[in-house]
Chain A
Amino acid sequence: MSGIIAIAAALAVAIASIGPGIGQGLAAGKAMESIARQPEAAGEIRTALILSLAFMEALTIYGLLIAFLLYGKI
């Protein structure tokens, strides 16, 4: 049973990091394109980028917390 829980914890964090990973990559790429196109707006773009990255990051963090929860039950 504990083996299954361990696998579940691993899967939780692994799967939860796939989507945000892709999303953050896309967002960062677009932000860099925008900065390259409009270097004078770099500050605003960076703020918006960090905010959106934080929202995506939250999804992974939820997976990580689930992993911690499961880990405590081993």
Chain B
Amino acid sequence: MFFATPAYAAEAAEHGAEHSQALFSIFGLQVSSVVTTMWGLMVLIILFSYLATKRMNKVPESRLQNFLEFVLESILELLTPIMGDEKLAKRYFPLLASFFILILASNYAGLLPGAGHLPGLQAPTSTLSVTAGFAVVVFFATHYYGLKTKGIKYFKHFVQPFPFLLPLNIIEEFVRPLSLSLRLYGNVFGEEMVVASLFALIPLFLPIPMMLLGILFGLVQAFVFTMLATLYISMATAEQH
């Protein structure tokens, strides 16, 4: 964006940094284009999983089932070493796998043509509001699972290793969702801004390498978010600390 025309860059910055315009509202909650994009992605994901599991077979016959099996098994393989145990990994699997799938889909939605310009189509993870929402879910899930598994003893980890570190520990707890949301938002939004700037400079072939990088970064960021959420939950629920 540093070499784009200021007018365009300002517009792009406004698009991402400011929350997008409300299209309509349900129960007093305004629905913006990121929300509609999320709905679209959710419908696609649920449709695919429904089609894949409708006629499920122990001998995988459909490519869709094969693909989803591959995705889920890969996610499970990633979670298992951090959780330390496949049973534990399976307990928190729905939450963490949903993070991965939804964030990945959201990141790739930003690569669609017209994303961020057409009304109702904008990468959800390119706004801080959505990533902050995800981070809030991680924050509450971490403490919920910690309390659920350890009971009142869970609060002991705030005064460990030394009681005078209590403020630092509390700050750390709040910095985690902040860094989680800012990292995801910054990466996706920054990548989109660079693509937009390159597009403004030479619209033909120049943005393609950056978009290819965007495919890689989208995957890595979804991976990192899921990994960190897993790490936090695993640390909160671990028996020995």
Contact = CB atoms under 8 A, between A and B. Distances in A.
Q: Are A and B direct contacts in the complex by CB distance below 8 Å?
A: yes
A58 B6 CA distance: 26
Most chain A Cβ neighbours within 10 Å, of B82, B182, B186:
B186
Interface of B: 1-2, 6, 9-10, 13-14, 17, 78, 81-82, 179, 182-183, 185-187, 189-190, 220, 223-224, 227-228, 231
11 contacts: A44-B81, A47-B227, A50-B220, A50-B227, A54-B224, A54-B227, A57-B187, A68-B13, A71-B13, A72-B13, A74-B6
B182 to A, nearest CB: 6
B227 A51 contact: yes
Contacts of B223: 50
B17 to A, nearest CB: 6
A65 B13 CA distance: 11
A52 to B, nearest CB: 10
A65 B179 CA distance: 12
A74 B78 CA distance: 44
Interface SS of chain A: helix, strand, loop or mixed? helix
Interface string A31-74: 00000000000001001001100100110011011001001101
Contacts of B1: 71
B224 A64 contact: no
Enumerate the 3 nearest inter-chain pairs by beta-carbon distance, A residue then B residue, closest first.
Answer: A61-B186, A54-B224, A58-B183
B17 A61 contact: no
Contacts of B189: 68
Contact of A50 (B2, B17, B186, B224): B224
A61 B187 contact: yes
A10 interface: yes
Given A10-B2, A71-B9, A72-B17, A51 B224 contact: yes
